[in-house]
Amino acid sequence: MAPQNITPDKETGIGNWTDGEKIRAIREGISRDGTALFPMMGYERYRYMSDEDVYSLVAYLNTLAPVRNVVPRSKIDFPVSLLMKGAPQPAGHVAQPYRSNRVHYGEYLVTLAGCVGCHTPSKQGRALQGLTLAGGEAFRFSGMVVVSANITPDPQTGIGRWSEQDFLDRIYQYKEYVEKGSPVAGPDSFTIMPWLNFAQLEPEDLKAIYAFLRTQPPVYHVVDSHPVWQAQESRKKPRG
């Protein structure tokens, strides 16, 4: 499954889409032709994006330079193709979050960022109860496993001992990489956490995220979030 071309190119991108069709795809998961988009798109959380924010997002997409790049249409096998038809839901009107209320605004940002999905362990696609944001979700790549960290306010296994400034410093240490480019990372520092994206947020946004995380139930859950490389054994065919 390949990401689709969302530049304003009229032949291979979304240049012929109306703003309303783009908004429907972003927040409701319905493509221009009426088919359901694969939930990996993130529309199940983007449906909580406020009207003003989704208008701004579409306005930004419209400013991008059109790029001609033909991407094959994704093919979803049965029964997933049938199950995903129930994923799109109408978003309706979504008001702006109360920025003056840090916890409320932080919940809004955490929802759109998908923090719960990555930092909550799951089994067979379902989040494990009692472990929300407690880390332990494994992401498997070729020969490597990366596990998400516990970001509940547990003082021993989470971020309970982190001050607000500790939280900001942890994320802003990547800020220089946004401007100068990231250094070559070795296997011990491999991460799928979008540090560069979060490092571009305003301090008030990060403070709101921190404030919301502090209101969550602390969960004692030991997690080793360092990447683990797995040796790949060569399989030899038996001689006969």
What pLDDT does 202 receive?
97
Cα–Cα distance between 199 and 7 in angstroms, integer?
Answer: 25
Residues 106, 203 share a domain: yes
Domain identity same for 122 and 182? yes
| 104 vs 228, more confident | 104
- Alpha-carbon span 42 to 24, nearest angstrom: 13
Q: How many C-beta neighbours within 10 Å does residue 66 have? A: 15
Q: Is 72 in the same domain as 173?
A: no
Mean pLDDT to the nearest integer, 58-72: 95
Count CA atoms within 13 Å of residue 49 on its CB side. 23
Q: Are 169 and 176 in contact (CB under 8 A)?
A: no
Where does the pLDDT of residue 187 fall: very low under 50, low under 70, confident under 90, or very high at 90 and above?
low
Residue 74 has pLDDT above 90, yes or no: no
* Whether residues 67 and 153 fall in one domain: no
User: Per residue in 214-237, pLDDT tens?
Assistant: 999 999 999 987 767 655 443 344
Residue 83: which residues within 8 A CB-CB, separation 6 or more? none
Provide, rounded to the nearest whole percent, the portion of the chain with pLDDT above 70: 88
- What pLDDT is attached to residue 218? 98
pTM of the entire structure?
Answer: 0.86
Residue 87, pLDDT > 60, answer yes
- Contact at 8 Å (CB) between 2 and 74? yes
Q: Are residues 112 and 209 in the same domain?
A: yes
Q: Left if phi > 0, otherwise alpha if psi is -120 to 50, otherwise beta: which for 137?
A: beta
* Same domain for 108 and 78: no
- 107 and 170 housed in the same domain: yes
pLDDT value, residue 140? 85
Domain of residue 216: give its range.
102-229
Q: Could you tell me how far CA 38 lies from the centroid of its own chain?
A: 14
Please give the pLDDT value at position 51: 98
Q: How many domains are there within the chain?
A: 2
Q: What pLDDT score does 142 carry? A: 75
What is the rounded distance in angstroms from the CA atom of residue 49 to the CA atom of residue 120? 21
Please report which confidence band the pLDDT of residue 101 belongs to, taking 50, 70 and 90 as the band edges: very high
Per-residue pLDDT reduced to its tens digit, 128-186: 999 999 999 998 877 788 899 999 999 999 999 999 999 999 999 999 988 888 777 66
> How far apart, in Å, are the Cα atoms of 240 and each of 10, 235, 237?
58, 15, 9
pLDDT per residue over 189-200, tens digit each?
778 899 999 999
Residue in 130, 112, 131, 129 with CA at minimum distance from that of residue 120: 131
